Structure 1
Amino acid sequence: MEQLLEELRQGLPRGEIPAALFGNDEIYNLELRKIFARCWVFLGHDSEVPASGDYVRRKIGEDNFIVVRDEDGEIHALFDACRHRGVQICRADSGNTEIFRCPYHGWAYDTKGNLLGAPLWKKAFGGMSKEENGLLSVAKLATYHGLIFATLDPTTPPLEEYLGGMKWYLDLVFGLNKHGIEILGPPQRFVIDANWKSGSENFSGDDYHLGTLHRSVWAIGAFPVSFADNMMGYHIQASAGHSLSFSMAPTEDDPGPKFFAYPDDLAASFNTARIDQEQLRVARRSRVFVGNVFPNFSILAAPMTDDGAHFPPTGVLTIRTWQPMGAGKFEAWNWFCAYRNMTPQQKERVYKSGLASFSMGGVFEMDDTEPWILAARTGRSVTAEVLDFKLNYKMGLPGIGIAKRTENWAGPGIVYSPRYEEGVQRNFFRFYSELMRAERGTWPKFSLE
């Protein structure tokens, strides 16, 4: 394990990454502690728990947490384990309740996590403090544009500091109008026999695969921009670990989709109430946005349709997490989002178009999962270990490819254009490398340069 991490550190400047990182069980167990137990992890959106007592069950690493809104309107993330014997107390994925009750001995907790009591309390526990036996809470919880994040590490920097330059781009996607977004239904969940890092690095900005793996999307007319035009745009290392990619028209006057192909009447509501003029200009030129907040929260906005013969492509906004289940298995959680001021018909179009493209039965998903499965198989192979097989992440290094660094960009970060470039993946793995070697209680100092 230590040798793999040292090979990663030394190989990154050359664009070389050990394949075994995608299949090693020791590495995976360390990730649960060094990555998922320390970073800010996405748990959901506040529109999923709109009323007092509403709850959803979510994960940090492999562990279950109850995200619940209490009677005062505050949101909590509570470890789903009774303080008596550690038994899971939340028996449903979502619902509404005033009390969480352990099925083993009947200990009962309110929506703040306070212990209310237990059967035969005076006989069994009289004199014991209830205050010291409530449900465990995450170390920190914070929201940004309604997105709920939590961390188990009290030394982790505040969420907005952690996001750094990525905030500018989250503002651009989630803050286009004053209404904000809401979630359309519960998340889809499907298990893939692959490594969680494959999803995260792909959504950091792997556009090179589009013309081969996703050729069928163009063949059936589901995407309104040619492959060559789609590759025009930018790769952005927004801040340490967080990266994104824009497919973008050269100017605001170019023909083709504007504002990710959202309907014109919705686009008319996009303004500078919550973003600045430069962000609005970038959004107007945008065709596709794909990004990843380290470690495993990914976002995609793109024009899609489920029926090109009858419906033009519309903007689809999906958010997802890659929930780890082992070195060679993860569960994809996929949500579809809509702006709150969309009409019911527009929301239906978003949902149906999303299902056809980015869902367990969508054309993109069925394409992507097979290579990820094969990459994980290679990562746990004896040959990759014995022959020290390195993966090639060299695209965009000096002298390789056509992508060049761009200085005249409106937003923060290190920017390259066009999108034939893998610096965004190297940014993911540099931050990963630093965290995997950092001691608990110390946060790595990391520079993009």
Structure 2
Amino acid sequence: MTTTNPRPASVGQSAEDLLRKLEAGLPNGEIPAAIFGNEDVYRRELRSIFGRCWVFLAHESEIPAKGDYVLRKIGEDSFVVVRDEHGGINVLFDACRHRGVQICRADSGNTSHFRCPYHGWTFNTKGELVGAPLWRNAFGGMSKEDNGLSRAAKVATYQGLIFATLDHTAPPLEEYLGGMTWYLDLVFGLNSHGVEVLAPPQRFVIEANWKSGADNFSGDDYHLGTLHRSVWEIGAFPVPFRENMLGYHIQASPGHSLSFSMAPTDDEPGPKFFGYPEDLVATFDTSRISAHQLDVARRSRVFVGNIFPNFSILALPMTEDGANHPPTGILTIRTWQPKGPGKVEVWNWFCAYKNMTPEQKERVYRAGLGTFSMGGSFEMDDTEPWITVGRTGRSVAAEVLDFSLNYKMGMPGVGIAKRVEDWPGPGIAYWTRYEEGVQRNLFSFYTEMMRAAPGEWPSFRFPEDDVAPGSTASGSPA
């Protein structure tokens, strides 16, 4: 007997077809697998997501001096992030105004000018055209002011993190981040000395879709006990798996989500402040954050989050060698740079508080390299499943069979996670971490951005965001 699929799908579905299915399926926790591999979806993402949203590019500590620059990406396009002679930060499209030739040929450095190798047009660190060979003969009478490098529409920083957007209609950065600023302050604002990157970013390419990284770092904790089981076996992480699953999933604001592994009470044994050394914790200037933020940070073992679209943050205690070095708090930030529907380049930085001792910074860097790097134990675990997610998303079978993925965890009647009404920070919170609302939040905002008309923006607040952060009692397990 032959059976038929009641919902046949056409091979080579359009982005619009898949977005309709995504929008219809999300309320039921279903996502079409093809969005992780469809070429038409990917081309639309470059314009509707990366061509509009605020995108993380660099940390201020990477360009501390006038003339310092780094070469970074918005979508697939290169931009020079440079500090000019007045200390301002500029984000310049890496293309000469004359013929569109790349003007920056190094990943980082220090310079007073960028010179196009084709015809010699020369630009200063503000992107202004300041000279060209035989200017009077070739272009006499033409305005130099109108021929500078193209710039990102808007540039802004938050807690030392440099973001840019190509869309002149984009809201201010802090409005776009919404409730996520409360959590960035909690991680990056603990110390008046601030945070710095420890080295240039690692870069490595995976044959996966960029959304798999964003999905995972929005708060996929369910995979820890299976995919990362060996991490516990070798003593790389100090909190037992079941205890580690205690904590909260927070939809900080539309699109931006995070997860805390957290002790239920302040007097619980185990790491505090993400596992940072006690002598460092003693230097934290906790007057810079609220009492509620301090309580959350003190009880936190792990912070993992994603700022839409592709900027992820992770703070937790780790060691690369449990037999010789106890776990210590590490902070890694990363971007999932799209390179096609089936390829992503991971950019991975390790960060430390500036007042850490050289020995503490070295320990952080080595622990990070051994766990969350291209050769680290966690990274090697994660990349293999993401590769197969992308392969499934590109498959004919996923389209023909109308294959959808299950994102139902934490929905009413599914699992043990419950909504927490007295969480002290902004957003929608659930206890425990057996929950996928954080991913549904990612894809809900993704859908709105993909379907928004030029100049239109989704809301950056949830309908229930009518209570000021910190105005309620401390959060507790439901």
| SS of residue matched to 1:424 | helix
CA distance in 2, matches of 1:152, 1:314: 38
1:414 to 407, 428, 433: 428
Does the CA-based 8 Å contact 1:427-1:448 persist in structure 2? no
**TM-score w.r.t. length of structure 2:** 0.93
SS of alignment partner, residue 202 of structure 1: helix
Deviations 1:12-47 (A, max 9, x none): 000000000000000000000000010000000000
Question: Does residue 1:38 correspond to 2:66, yes or no?
Answer: no
Residue 447 of structure 1: how far off its partner (Å): 5.1
The question of whether the paired residues in 2 share the 8 Å contact of 1:232 and 1:248 is answered with yes
Matched, 1:170 2:196: no
1:351 aligns with 2:365: yes
- The 5 A counterparts of 1:226-375 are 226-375=240-389
Superposition pairs for residues 38-437 of structure 1, below 5 Å? Answer: 38-437=52-451
Distance verdict in 2 for CA 1:158–1:446, change over 3 Å: closer
CA distances 1:413-444 after superposition (whole Å, capped 9, x unpaired): 00001000000000000000001001111112
d(CA) in 2 for partners of 1:12, 1:36: 22
Instruction: Say which SS state the counterpart of residue 122 (structure 1) adopts.
Output: helix
Runs (5+) with no aligned partner, structure 1: none
User: d(CA) in 2 for partners of 1:164 and 1:47?
Assistant: 24
Please list, as runs of the form range in 1=range in 2, the aligned pairs for 1:12-31 lying within 5 A after superposition: 12-31=26-45
Q: Describe the superposition over 1:138-189 as per-residue Cα deviations: whole angstroms up to 9, x where unpaired.
A: 0000000110000000111100000000000000000001111000010000
Distance 1:218 1:114 in 2: 54
Structure 2: how far apart are the matches of 1:259 and 1:390? 39
Deviation at 1:58, TM superposition (A): 0.2
Query: How far apart, in 2, do the equivalents of 1:114 and 1:34 lie?
Result: 29
Deviation at 1:446, TM superposition (A): 5.7
Contact 2:254 2:459 in 1 (8 A): no
CA displacement, residues 301-352 of structure 1 (integer Å, 9 cap, x when unaligned): 0100111111110000000000000000010000000000000000000000
C-alpha distance in structure 1 between counterparts of 2:295 and 2:25, whole Å = 38
Q: Which amino acid aligns with 1:310?
A: N
Contact 1:271 1:280 in 2 (8 A): no
- Using the alignment, how far apart are the partners of 1:439 and 1:162 within structure 2? 17
Cα deviation digits, residues 344-368 of structure 1 (max 9, x gap)? 0000000000000000000000000
Alignment-mate amino acid for residue 293 of structure 1: I
- CA distance, structure 1, for counterparts of residue 399 and residue 459 of structure 2: 31
Moved over 4 A (4+): none
Aligned mates of 2:149, 2:71 — CA distance in 1: 14
Contact 2:79/2:94 (<8 A) preserved = yes
Q: State the alpha-carbon separation in 2 of the partners of residues 188 and 319 from structure 1.
A: 11
Contact 2:175 2:460 in 1 (8 A): no
Amino acid at match of 1:300: L
- Report the alpha carbon displacement of residue 272 of structure 1 after superposing the two structures with TM: 2.3
CA displacement at 1:448 relative to structure 2: 3.4
> In 2, Cα distance between the equivalents of 1:199 and 1:444?
23
Letter in 2 for 1:388: D
Structure 1 position 286, deviation (Å):
0.4
User: What's the TM-score, normalizing by structure 1?
Assistant: 0.99
CA–CA distance in structure 2, aligned partners of residues 393 and 361 of structure 1: 30
Residues of 2 paired with 1:119 and 1:447: CA distance? 53
Q: Is the 8 A contact 2:55 2:163 kept in 1?
A: yes
Task: Report the Cα distance in structure 2 between the residues aligned to 1:21 and 1:67, rounded to whole angstroms.
Answer: 31
Query: Structure 2: which amino acid aligns with 1:423?
Result: G
1:273 match: secondary structure:
helix
Partner of 2:475: none
* Structure 2, gaps ≥5 residues long: 1-14, 464-478
What does the per-residue CA deviation read over 1:203-230, in whole Å, with 9 as the maximum and x for residues that have no partner? 0000000000000100100000000000
Residue in 1 that maps onto 2:10: none
* 8 Å CA contact 1:395, 1:423 repeated in 2: yes
- What is the distance in 2 between the residues matched to 1:149 and 1:260? 25
Conservation of the 8 A alpha-carbon contact between 2:178 and 2:460: no
304-313 or 79-88, which deviates more:
304-313
Q: How far apart are the structure 2 equivalents of 1:378 and 1:425?
A: 19
SS where residue 355 of structure 1 aligns? helix
Aligned-pair identity (%): 76
Distance, in Å, in 1 between the alignment partners of 2:211 and 2:301 is 25
- Amino acid in the other structure paired with 1:317: L
Q: 1-side partners of 2:181 and 2:460: how far apart? A: 17
Which residue identity does 2:195 align to in structure 1? I
Write the distance in 2 (CA, Å) between the matches of 1:80 and 1:2.
32
